Amino acid sequence: MVITPLSLAGLVLVYLVGAVPMGYLVARVLRVDIRAHGSGNIGATNVLRTLGKGPAVLTLLLDVAKGYTGVWIALALGPEPWWGSVGALLAVVGNCWSVFLGFRGGKGMATGLGAFLHLMPWAVLPAILVWVAVAATFRYISLASVTAALCVPIGAALLRRYHWSEALAALAVALIIALRHGDNVARLLSGTERKLGERVSTS
């Protein structure tokens, strides 16, 4: 993996793509500052609780798309698997610490999903099933997200078909997602975490 000025510019672009605050922009179109409502997070979950299913689905798809696009850009810089691994990590870092929002942002789940759907789909698909099972059983999106994120590096290790750098990137992203859900975990432990389907007022 040789870093040239062109490839460095490409990696910066990956970060910037990840940093585009999709949930914030979707909400602003509807004249709502999503940061001032619900949990204050710009991700699809808070958009769902604040603005409903349509804006939330759009936010989810856009966040997934920017993760996928980030890895695609990174892999265009070189054929080695390290490029995709770094791309996935940078896209998620951009989502979580966006330069466009004063280095604040989302929690990385949807962007990570898009990145690793491109990078290691066979490790992601079982994690999606885990997410659905946990969300349907317990009705906590945060619990489902953290559990599913941790399943991706485990799946990558068990499958033994991915480069070590890709598995390491999956582990790093899973830890970032878990870290970003720290407040949610605290609310889960205290019994105050909102369940799937609960709405918040924008008035």
> What's the pTM value of the predicted model, to 2 decimals?
0.94
- Is 176 in contact with 96 (CB distance < 8 Å)? yes
Kindly state the tokens that stand for 56: 């939330």
Half-sphere exposure of 100 (CA within 13 A, CB side): 18
Give me the sign of the Cα torsion angle 161, 163, 168, 169. Answer: negative
Residue type (1 letter), 84: G
Give me the sign of the Cα torsion angle 93, 99, 104, 106. Answer: negative
Tell how far CA 171 is from the center of its chain.
Answer: 13
- Is 185 in contact with 146 (CB distance < 8 Å)? yes
> What's the angle, vertex CA 56, arms to CA 182 and CA 141, rounded to 5?
35
Q: How far apart are CA 151 and CA 156, in angstroms?
A: 9
What is the pLDDT tens value at each position of the chain, 203 positions in all? 677 888 999 999 999 999 999 999 999 999 999 999 999 999 999 999 999 999 999 999 999 999 999 999 999 998 788 999 999 999 999 999 999 999 999 999 999 999 999 999 999 999 999 999 999 999 999 999 999 999 999 999 999 999 999 999 999 999 999 999 999 999 999 999 999 877 776 65
How many contiguous H segments (helices) and E segments (strands) does the chain have?
10, 0
Residues 6+ apart with CB under 8 A from 23: 34, 41, 42, 43, 44, 46, 47, 59, 63, 106
Residues 6+ apart with CB under 8 A from 190: none
